[in-house]
Chains A and B, each alone.
Chain A
Amino acid sequence: MEHVVIIGNGISGVTTARHVRKMSDKKITIISDETDYFFSRTALMYVYMGHMPFENTQPYENWFWKKNRIDLVKNRVEKIDSTNKKLLLKDGSEMSYDKLVLATGSSPNKFGWKGQELDGVSGMYSKQDLDTIEKYTKNIQRAVIVGGGLIGIELAEMLLSRNIPVTFLVREMNFWGNVLPKEESQIIANHIREHHVDLRLNTELKEIVSDENGRVKAIITTKNETIDCQFVGLTAGVSPNIGFIQDSEIECNRGILINRHLETNIPDVYAIGDCAEQENAIGRRRPIEQVWYTGRMMGETVAQTICGNRTEYKPGHWFNSAKFFDIEYQTYGWVTSRIQEDELDYYWEAPCGKKAIHVVFDKNNREFVGINTFGIRLRHEMFDRWLNEKRSVEHVLEYLKDANFDPEFYKQHEEEIIEGFNKKFGTNIQTKRKSWKRIFTTF
């Protein structure tokens, strides 16, 4: 029986295992030293905030793995011997494989700051990070977060839930400015401040200052300002976990290099999820995509290949979502921080300043390119379909009510949105009433 070994029990690895099991009887082993069971990494914040106990972040009950004959090994792979198809584990034991899937995830970036290894400095990625944060944030007066992305704002929310004042250093002039257009950044920045976070844009970390016990007592910014704090959260992005792979024959750049079939340069070795780097970026996607959904989709794909149906990784239309404190964000298609030259955009914001949408379309043929939405939920299926069908922006707006996914009785804004669009572009779009028939046909 062929032995499929998966290193990493995150969403990528576990999806692979599940799909391989669905399609075959192969022996499946997942190796991880992070936790006994798969948990939702994106839910760790809720454990700290007291919304959920840790067990609730585990999507499958503990009997699931045995029932599906997926062996879980809590250990760490130290070395990969791809010639003999063998793994050397931390406890000295060896394990042989027929197919190897690397789904090792990533770790928080540390850019060589002075003091980055002190007690009370932590990223926010792993279960171990969570335990560290729990340990070092008891009864503290202030925390500093470095790096303004999704994890940074989540960490801010976590700390505030325990009434810890937060100073938030963001390198860019705009919050998450490499992804969000200025208007959206502004909404989020306002909302962060509404939550009494001391948000410092255009500010970087210079060094972290230690007290006599090797614990953080302050940080110094590049503007030479000293901020007293007892905890520092490093959330300036993450990098692939490839430490133990670099001395194997498997080719790496920043991540493990893979082709469109998710294959590495070594036969029968695949890499997926956070740790993988596409040799050539797919469309407008980045070569390394550290996103839950792409990890999952790569897992679905590589399982096909492993089970004899060699499949190219062809992700569908880009989508993503997040929550910034109380404001939900979804995106479908492409809305880039700087609108491309051949594109036009339309931005609408509700008077409350907590709801907005940003639509981008092609200047020449008016094809719908993408949408950002804040505080309004949209139906993934509709946008996926419109993008497949290459619909015009007028079509999307005309049928926008079909795509509303807010709970019942919520205030709807389509009329205002379209009125604004008509005014800006001199169009005369009339909204169509929501139709179940349209929503549920075809797919």
Chain B
Amino acid sequence: MKIIKHIGLGIFIIGLLIFTSLIFVGKYELTENTFDSFVKSKGLKSELFINDIQNNVVGKEYSNPFALSSDITSALENANKTYKKEQKWDKVIWDSPHELSYNLMKPSAKGLVVENQGLFFFLTFGLGIIGALMFIIPDVVLLGPAGIKNDGIYHNKSTNRGWIGWITAVYLVTFYIILYFFADYIVNLIYLVNPISKALSGNGASQWFLYGFLYCTVMTVMAVRMFIKYRHNKYQIIRTASVLFFQIGFAFLIPEILVRFNMPYFDFKNAWPLDYDFFFDWNIKSLINSGTLGIFMLVWGTIFSIIIIPIFVYFYGKRWYCSWVCGCGGLAETLGDPYRQLSDKSVKSWKIERYLIHAVLVFAIIMTAVTLYTFFSGVDSFFGIKTYEIQKVYGFLIGSIFAGVIGTGFYPVMGNRVWCRFGCPLAAYMGIVQRFKSRFRITTNGGQCISCGNCSTYCEQGIDVRSYAQKGQNIVRASCVGCGVCSAVCPRGVLKLENGPEEGRIQENPTLLGNDIDLMKMLKDK
């Protein structure tokens, strides 16, 4: 069994190495045809750029994506610089350089990967999946009888913030930066999933399709790990199955299929303000222009965010979304589960968390308000805030850097809920409801706590669960996503996630059970 595990790890690493190295193989050639039709479809008027590309790039064969990308982006920047100086604004190309370069490079790629998409899909995704499963499945036997198996987590260099963890973090951060900002470098990787995208939506793959497919794959494989690790715990099994279902069905398949039928790409379970561009004018317009279904989507998205979400939080706590439905939560609970213990539990980090997450919420609300003001009034700024600028800043800082690069990239060093804990505006919004108006709480069991600290250690949200449990106090915290792991790892059966009556949910003066009744009463009354 151990041998299978090791071979699996080897195969996985080979798959990952091939995946990574594909960036550097293959050839790129921008043909006259491709470029002409691109210029036409875009309606480009930048003669400087067009001439530059035609003279220096078209017809030339490049052996790596970086040189071609650099030629295209510098041509673009040079042309723009001149036009801006001459104030010929209509000739300036406003597209981001790497996005434009991506659009030119995708059809220019040729060679090994493009010609053998199936083979390389197997050598990357295939080997990755097979290797990972070979690494994971032997645990059914190796972990022994079902139960909490956290042995060696703090001895392992990948899960105790050791060097493997840091390498993983650097890899993930790099991957996210390239994915978000330099998609033109990974055209080859996008071709790996091209056939799947075509089969689903009828269109070729984009970097977002690659990301979505990779996301679902990683979640599925790591969900298998969860099913094995928590096979004694029905709450964990059902919850994991649920996030997996919503990710694959709602976030991935349904939107792709909608596109196939010429309907807007729409994720029915996504909610504002996490879905920060839901009220952006391009989205509203596209939905309004998509007939009855589009209108329904617009109405559904609004009702879902503003009415359904808080009502459900009232009944079940925000866990129903964060650890049962949400895609970000889904990745955190599967890929991120091995890192949950790395979240900081200090009071100081709790303070930072409250400032940060509520600041993001305020930011999201202001941005949306400005956006809607512009949408209805037609004025492109509000009290001096340029609508387009604030959207761009939010999208870059929060949407990309915080949620993606930091949120997932830092799993192996800061725990798996960095984004959910410090940044997600939807979590902040639901947290306020959960704290003040909800039936959800984690009940502590009388006087049974032994202050061991397992609950706090394995709280991915960095809640010092023990500090409540050892006082006999219900845990009512805005940030709790109800993953249920504190309850699972408790060796004394102290914690239970419950939806009960609001009365007495928040205890001002808790006492521990077990002592003289009169004394307990006295302590309570104090």
Contact = CB atoms under 8 A, between A and B. Distances in A.
A42 interface: yes
Interface stretch (B5-13, B129-137, B207-215, B447-455): B447-455
Given A49-B151, A53-B154, A323 B453 contact: no
Contact of B493 (A51, A293, A330): A330
Contact of B491 (A195, A301, A311, A328): A328
Interface stretch (A25-33, A248-256, A334-342, A378-386): A378-386
Contact of A325 (B147, B484, B522): B147
Given A42-B450, A384-B446, A377 B496 contact: yes
B523 A300 contact: yes
Contact of A440 (B151, B500, B519): B500
Interface stretch (B54-62, B332-340, B510-518): B510-518
Given A40-B451, A61-B347, A379 B147 contact: no
A58 B467 CA distance: 11
- Find the residue from B238, B451, B496 having the highest chain A CB count within 10 A: B451
A59 interface: yes
Contacts of B456: 56
A46 B451 CA distance: 12
B508 interface: no
Nearest to B345: A56
B145 A316 contact: no
B446 A380 contact: yes
Contacts of B496: 377, 405-407
Interface string A300-342: 1100100000011111110101110110101000000000000
Nearest to B233: A407
A433 B82 CA distance: 79
A111 interface: no
Interface in A144-186: 161
A11 B470 CA distance: 11
A182 B166 CA distance: 51
Interface stretch (A69-77, A94-102, A237-245, A408-416): A408-416
Contacts of B467: 59
A316 B346 contact: no
A303 to B, nearest CB: 10
- Find the residue from A11, A316, A328 having the highest chain B CB count within 10 A: A316
A281 interface: no
Nearest to A304: B519
B106 interface: no
B154 A379 contact: no
Interface in B149-177: 150-156, 160
A433 to B, nearest CB: 14
Contact of A436 (B452, B500, B519): B500
B158 to A, nearest CB: 13
Interface string A9-40: 00100000000001100000000000000001
Contacts of B345: 56
- Find the residue from A23, A411, A437, A440 having the highest chain B CB count within 10 A: A440
A301 B150 contact: no
B516 A50 contact: no
A49 B150 contact: yes
Contacts of B452: 40, 42-43, 46, 57
A22 to B, nearest CB: 8
Given A50-B152, A314-B516, A330 B453 contact: no
B205 interface: no
Contacts of A293: 447-448, 514
Interface residues of B, number: 63
Contact of A194 (B145, B446, B497, B517): B145
Contact of B504 (A42, A304, A314, A440): A440
A206 to B, nearest CB: 32
Contacts of A379: 445-446
A330 B513 CA distance: 14
Contacts of A411: 234
A49 B155 CA distance: 9
B516 A407 contact: no
Contact of A405 (B152, B346, B493, B512): B493
Given A379-B446, A384-B513, A46 B492 contact: no
A380 B234 contact: no
B226 interface: no
B232 interface: yes
B457 interface: yes
A65 B232 CA distance: 40
B430 interface: no
Contacts of B347: 61
B144 interface: yes
Contacts of A40: 450-453
Nearest to A196: B144
Contacts of B447: 293, 296-297, 319, 380
- Find the residue from A326, A378, A405 having the highest chain B CB count within 10 A: A405
Contact of A316 (B484, B504, B513): B513
B107 interface: no
B146 interface: yes
Contact of B519 (A59, A191, A314, A319): A314
A312 to B, nearest CB: 8
A266 interface: no
B488 interface: yes
A23 B525 CA distance: 13
A355 to B, nearest CB: 11
Contacts of A313: 516
Contacts of A11: 451
A40 B466 CA distance: 11
A292 interface: yes
B340 to A, nearest CB: 12
A61 B346 contact: yes
Given A296-B512, A330-B448, A384-B446, A59 B152 contact: no
Interface in B207-265: 232-235, 238
B515 A297 contact: yes
Nearest to A330: B493
A59 B503 contact: no
Nearest to A320: B448
A388 interface: yes
B501 A321 contact: no
A53 B145 CA distance: 25
A319 B448 contact: yes
A52 B451 contact: no
A326 B147 contact: yes
A50 B150 contact: yes
Contacts of A384: 446, 513-514
Interface in B429-466: 443, 445-448, 450-454, 456-457, 466
B277 to A, nearest CB: 35
A61 to B, nearest CB: 6
A316 B491 contact: no
Contacts of A437: 501
Interface of A: 11, 22-23, 40, 42-43, 46, 49-53, 56-59, 61, 161, 191, 194-195, 292-293, 296-297, 300-301, 304, 311-317, 319, 321-323, 325-326, 328, 330, 377-381, 384, 388, 405-411, 436-437, 439-440
Closest 9 CB pairs of A and B: A380-B446, A326-B147, A377-B493, A43-B452, A314-B516, A323-B491, A409-B234, A50-B152, A161-B151
Given A51-B153, A297-B447, 12 more contacts: A46-B454, A51-B151, A53-B160, A56-B345, A296-B447, A296-B514, A315-B515, A316-B516, A321-B448, A326-B147, A328-B492, A409-B235
21 contacts: A42-B452, A46-B452, A50-B153, A50-B155, A51-B489, A52-B453, A56-B456, A161-B151, A296-B512, A301-B519, A311-B519, A314-B519, A316-B513, A316-B516, A316-B520, A325-B145, A330-B492, A380-B447, A380-B448, A407-B496, A408-B235
